[in-house]
Amino acid sequence: MGLYVEIMCDERKNWPGTPEYAGKIEHRCWSNRNDSAQGYSVAQARKEAKKQGWKIIGRYACCPGCLKNLPGEGASE
């Protein structure tokens, strides 16, 4: 049995409540759709996350899906 480390998104945004995004089946946040970066150590998981386009600063992580500001989102969301 092996262990692995998984990076989870701290933002976990949903789709905006505009008609443009109504009925989206796939989750916006990669952590919500079980597509987080993984590795056999914390360093390896962080390296893989950066390679996939995640924003990693210290203990903060944000997936590419949550990094984008979409039409219909307020600046404070």
Task: Say if CB 64 and CB 53 are below 8 A apart.
Answer: yes
User: What are the tens digits of pLDDT across the range 14-68?
Assistant: 888 888 888 888 889 999 888 899 999 999 999 999 999 999 999 999 999 999 8
Residue 10 is predicted with a pLDDT of 95
Task: Say if CB 5 and CB 42 are below 8 A apart.
Answer: yes
- What pTM value is reported for the model? 0.79
> Measured between alpha carbons, how far is 52 from 3 in angstroms, rounded to an integer?
21
Q: Which residues pair with 56 in a beta bridge?
A: 61
Return the ∠ at Cα 59 (arms to 54 and 64), rounded to 5°.
Answer: 15
Considering only residues 9 and 17, tell me which one the structure prediction assigns the higher pLDDT.
9
Structure tokens that stand for 30 in this block: 């990669």
Which stretches within the chain are classed as H helix? 42-51, 64-67
